[in-house]
Amino acid sequence: MATKQATTTIPIVFTTVINPVGAGFVASLARPGGNVTGVSWDATPELAGKQLELLRELAPRASRVAVLWNPDTAGSAAFVQYTGVAAQALGLILQSVEVRAAEEFRAAFDTMVKERAGGLVVLGSAFTYNHREQLARLAAQHHLPAIYGNRDSVVAGGLVSYGASLLDQWRRAAVYVDKILKGAKPADLPVEQPTKFDLVINLKSAKALGLTISQSLLLRADEIIQ
């Protein structure tokens, strides 16, 4: 957002932005207007439901699930609401845990365990992405099966991720840059929504948590990290 506020003439291409309309990046997805366009980050009711379904499949005994999120991240509140609706449909109790700084992580995990959370959804954002290694480590230390929104968190030691492919987002952003360099205006380039989603499982992390991954889930995975 700071970059957008700094100029109204230099073209800007974004990726991994949750709800770019609500965040004020563009006027609409179809007609962005201004000098900004790009690829949005998926934060839909369908994604929230899919993540919870996967988490329940991994931890079927869990009746209470925590969602870790930063309320300062634009669009996050809506996704937490979607997760709450999905949790209710699955018969799960959702525990909302807000964090605004990495120094709050340990206390947040202590709260989850104290309130008997049996699983964790780490809401995808630049904030949680930048601290993915610490979050994966804390989830392991507190024996919490956790699902993330991006592959890199699983590479960092997280259990499982399901979400839009970061690599695909960057590739799509490169297409925007190419079009703009050839004369297209950002205002005329509709914002794209993710079309490729990856399910990534870390078997080493599953073993450390004492979890057995079903064969059906392994067959559905796009990538398995040994």
pLDDT in tens, 151-209: 999 999 999 999 988 888 889 999 999 999 999 999 999 999 888 899 999 999 999 99
Please tell me the predicted confidence (pLDDT) of residue 166: 84
pLDDT at 6 over 70: no
45-164+198-225 fold = Rossmann fold (3.40.50)
pLDDT at 5 over 70: no
Confidence of residue 4 (pLDDT cuts 50, 70, 90): low
- What is the rounded distance in angstroms from the CA atom of residue 181 to the CA atom of residue 140? 46
Confidence of residue 142 (pLDDT cuts 50, 70, 90): very high
pLDDT in tens, 64-87: 999 999 999 877 888 899 999 999
Within the chain, all domains assigned CATH 3.40.50.2300 are found at: 2-41+165-195, 45-164+198-225
Please give the class, per CATH, of domain 2-41+165-195: alpha beta
Q: 0.85 exceeded by the pTM?
A: yes
pLDDT at 58 over 70: yes
Write the DSSP assignment of the chain as a string of letters.
Answer: -HHHHH-SSS-EEEEEEESTTTTTS-S-SS---TTEEEEEEP--HHHHHHHHHHHHHH-TT--EEEEEE-TTSTTHHHHHHHHHHHHHHTT-EEEEEE-SSGGGHHHHHHHHHHTT--EEEE--SHHHHHTHHHHHHHHHHTT--EEESSHHHHHTT-SEEEEE-HHHHHHHHHHHHHHHHTT--GGGSPPB----EEEEEEHHHHHHTT----HHHHHH-SEEE-
